[in-house]
Structure 1
């Protein structure tokens, strides 16, 4: 599994290069004026499109434009986010604590569930538990995360009213932005506990359930596939057959 992860990390720069180069190529179908409009933050700046075109070299050859963009990225200028209404670098800094907190909450459940059921699926190959886990893996691996997230919202918020959307309620929002609230770690749930705001901590945790469930399902599906494939490969190796021939209990072989 470690070899698989390292291999994926090694290919990551090439993937990023390929994706960004492809996007730049596709954007060439737009006129320089249309591409310059993407950099405009205020409609009143539309009269300054020529200055934007000159700044970003939008009339220059594609390799030159791509080089200009890479230089800006190297200096920390990642562009402007229309969704967040702020520079991309500022948006990353703003949303990173919530993303990191969600990752921390789901990391160990993902590892435990994914590895356990991946091993179980390999040991009981072609049995009911194997078919069930493979179904979970296939659906989780192929289903877009936003589709699953919307589905969970429709069921557990829209129909059942069990878990609320968003990050926290208005009361918690007022609390965390007050002068009395101290942001010790940047992790909202932990900061609420450190400030002894138990109700606010519970509120944040309730709002985290649906995003955590979405991330858990998608990530477990991938880890389950990797674990099952690795386990099936190991079970066919000579040392496993030798251990079985010597009468070693199956549970000991699996555990080792």
Structure 2
């Protein structure tokens, strides 16, 4: 048992993994916190940075690579060691833009996972800059996870090149994704938008109207789905589209169109 347990934040959207792996690490003397998605992890890290981050890659709201990108942009958080813990193949992990890790550990049977994670944690800070790889010998990646990653990469490519601004928010109306056009139209950095509630990102004159509309849509009411707002001196049409799935519940997609130069009567 360590006299001063290392604080580990374990991030995974699989509840079984959070419980089973979390218990295993606690038994080995680590102080373990858990998060079920990347947004929850980002909020916990900002409030109380862990000593080590054990991180899944394909997750809701914010994936592992984007979480690493946000951490690296913050001098206070950029030095947090990351152990990537995934069911993707090692070549896919090593080629993901933004993803970093002192070690890459394959998911698999719990006894093997425990052995590999404990070995990786024991070597944190002792490497030569090259990531250590554990458990990928004879490893068969989960096809469904690889397909989800491929779909996410396609979505990201489309969002980067769409002229309209796109915001994605979760069922509590917190922003989980903002494309470059949305960042430009809103006059804010991407990181400053992530995690904020939708009404808060608009200018004060529009927040109450946005809040009412968002609340109505998330509750399934027949609310209007479009508002015209002014942001950074430009008129924007904002369309709100609720997305409700059995697996992840409600979310919202906002489409922001710049109306500058158009006839005000058409707004």
Q: TM-score, normalised by structure 2?
A: 0.27
| Bigger RCO of structures 1 and 2 (CA < 8 A, at least 6 apart) | 1
Structure ranking higher in helix proportion:
1
Q: Quick check: which has more Rg, 1 or 2?
A: 1
Structure ranking higher in strand proportion:
2
Q: TM-score, normalised by structure 1?
A: 0.27
